[in-house]
Structure 1
Amino acid sequence: MSVSSPASPHATHASPAGSIPRIGVLGGTFDPIHTGHLALGALFARTLALDELILMPAGQQPQKQGSTPAEHRLAMTRLAATQLAAELARTQPTTRLSVSTREIERAGPSYTVDTLREMRRDIGPQASLSLLIGSDQLVRLDTWHAWRELFDYAHVCAAARPGFRWASASLPLRQVFAEREKSALRVQSTPCGGILIDNSLAVDISATELRATLAQARDAATPPANLPEPVWHYIRAQHLYRA
């Protein structure tokens, strides 16, 4: 398995006879990327039998200000991808892993709906495209730009954090959840439009808390438990997250 860095995913590995290509995109600020992100990607690579898993750091995150410059977040994502690739080689060897610069290279705010629209144009109407997120993002999906249009281009697959509660979502969101809920097999076999919630990932990591830990323990001899070691070495070399 190789880790590549395409600006856009124009091709995927061949799928078994009779199936359609299955692509998952895991985006985020990745400030920094941590083991929770990697665990979420690995989970859905297995659950959806993905042909391709794409890590996509955001360019200009419209709901966050003051993020670390994109070039650092991209570099950290590429370093973390090598660790995830090694895991996938053992657990899901048919999944190709790539890092995309699509949002970083695009001018203006990184609206997910624009990204999925572009990807759908690139991969065609038949492929299964899934947006992979955490449940913390799922319950506030209705704050995203043009959020209802997301389902025109992709499925939304969420990994529930410990303590996830349906009631924390708005009524319109809960109605959409009920109307669009699909099984993993249905997500694999259809292009878009569904919601899949997986409750098996008992991981709850906060990037905000991780940045605070890095600022307070900048001279630590070992990385924090939830940070890939190559990413930690990069952070130290670039003097990131200093108090």
Structure 2
Amino acid sequence: MITILSLAIGLLNYPLIEYPKKIGILGGTFDPPHIGHLRLASYFAKKLQLDELLLVPSGQPWQKGSNITSAEIRYQLTEAAVIDLARVFLYLKIPTKIGVDRIEIEREGPSYSIDTAKSLRERYGSDVSLIWLTGADSLIHLPSWIAWQDLFRYLHFAVASRPNYDLSTEMSPEIQMLLETNQTKDLNDLTSHPAGLIYIDESFSVDLSSTDLRKRWQSTARSSIASEQIPSHTLEIILNLGLYQ
């Protein structure tokens, strides 16, 4: 008869299989963070079974011009949005840990994704799967990013489709070639490899335009926008500070 003690000893001597952690990264200006960001985060956190999710507000978004809300306020807005996101995770029983990372805000100079990717890889090590969560429009415009091809040395990309963006007709030859060599349709590949792959989810569509939201905020439709598009805790800060008037 095998006793509980002997069984425990046997288990201790048996090599355990350890799977690399999966960390999702949702970067952006977050000016402001909105329901589209939360939907994207919730969808991929559940589908990819992420261990952690980092929201990374940009410090100095070099492609956005100068008319941007200060980094510290955008960080506060993002922290507030995470309160609502945590409630969504709790309701949907998603065990993913959530955090807001100041890595780009505290780094001097323009916020380049390649610098963030390198820093996160150094922080988490070579075995962890780092997955950049984004929409189809970002994939289309990826060749405009600094050192964009080097990103795949450090990250995977998980891409959601987006209304009015047809990848088959709008992507450049560079992206077509990238998909031929790096695209995967098997989610398990994002665990078995730490970086280098693109997963496109065509079953999920999300609108991620903070720019359009700010323009609509200045229109007569402000009240409906507030209730439908902006997380409640973020909205409270926006109203208190009189942002986007």
- With normalisation by structure 2, the TM-score equals 0.87
- Tell me if the contact between 1:128 and 1:188 (Cα under 8 Å) persists in the aligned partners: yes
Structure 1 partner of 2:214: 211
Structure 1 partner of 2:83: 82
Which protein has the larger Cα radius of gyration, Structure 1 or Structure 2?
A: 2
- Tell me if the contact between 2:60 and 2:109 (Cα under 8 Å) persists in the aligned partners: yes
- Cα distance in 1, alignment partners of residues 151 and 89 from structure 2: 27
Q: Give per-residue Cα distances to partners, 1:118-149, cap 9 Å, x unaligned.
A: 11011110010011111111101000000000
* Matching of residue 196 in structure 1 with residue 196 in structure 2: no
Structure 2 partner of 1:150: 151
- Cα distance in 1, alignment partners of residues 225 and 204 from structure 2: 25
- Cα distance in 1, alignment partners of residues 209 and 243 from structure 2: 17
- Tell me if the contact between 2:217 and 2:225 (Cα under 8 Å) persists in the aligned partners: no
Secondary structure of 1:213's aligned partner = helix
1:221–1:150 CA distance, 2 compared to 1 (3 A): closer
One-letter code of the match for 1:172?
E
One-letter code of the match for 1:198?
D
Secondary structure of 2:204's aligned partner = coil
One-letter code of the match for 2:39?
A
Contiguous gaps of at least 5 residues in structure 2 = 1-15
Structure 2 partner of 1:55: 55
Q: CA deviation at 1:201?
A: 2.1
- Tell me if the contact between 2:32 and 2:77 (Cα under 8 Å) persists in the aligned partners: yes
One-letter code of the match for 2:182?
R
User: Which residues in structure 2 correspond to 1:3-152 (within 5 Å)?
Assistant: 17-65=17-65, 66-152=67-153
- Tell me if the contact between 1:45 and 1:92 (Cα under 8 Å) persists in the aligned partners: no
- Cα distance in 2, alignment partners of residues 190 and 81 from structure 1: 28
Q: Give per-residue Cα distances to partners, 1:138-167, cap 9 Å, x unaligned.
A: 101000000000000010111111343222
User: Which residues in structure 2 correspond to 1:161-176 (within 5 Å)?
Assistant: 161-166=162-167, 167-176=169-178
One-letter code of the match for 2:235?
W
One-letter code of the match for 1:137?
S
- Cα distance in 1, alignment partners of residues 142 and 222 from structure 2: 38
1:239–1:184 CA distance, 2 compared to 1 (3 A): same
Identity %: 37
Q: CA deviation at 1:218?
A: 8.9
- Tell me if the contact between 1:160 and 1:198 (Cα under 8 Å) persists in the aligned partners: yes
Structure 2 partner of 1:227: 230
One-letter code of the match for 1:170?
S
One-letter code of the match for 2:209?
S
- Tell me if the contact between 2:160 and 2:206 (Cα under 8 Å) persists in the aligned partners: no
Q: CA deviation at 1:209?
A: 2.0
Structure 2 partner of 1:7: none
- Tell me if the contact between 2:216 and 2:225 (Cα under 8 Å) persists in the aligned partners: no
- With normalisation by structure 1, the TM-score equals 0.88
C-alpha RMSD over aligned residues: 1.8
- Cα distance in 2, alignment partners of residues 230 and 217 from structure 1: 22
One-letter code of the match for 1:80?
A
- Cα distance in 2, alignment partners of residues 222 and 232 from structure 1: 10
1:39–1:238 CA distance, 2 compared to 1 (3 A): same
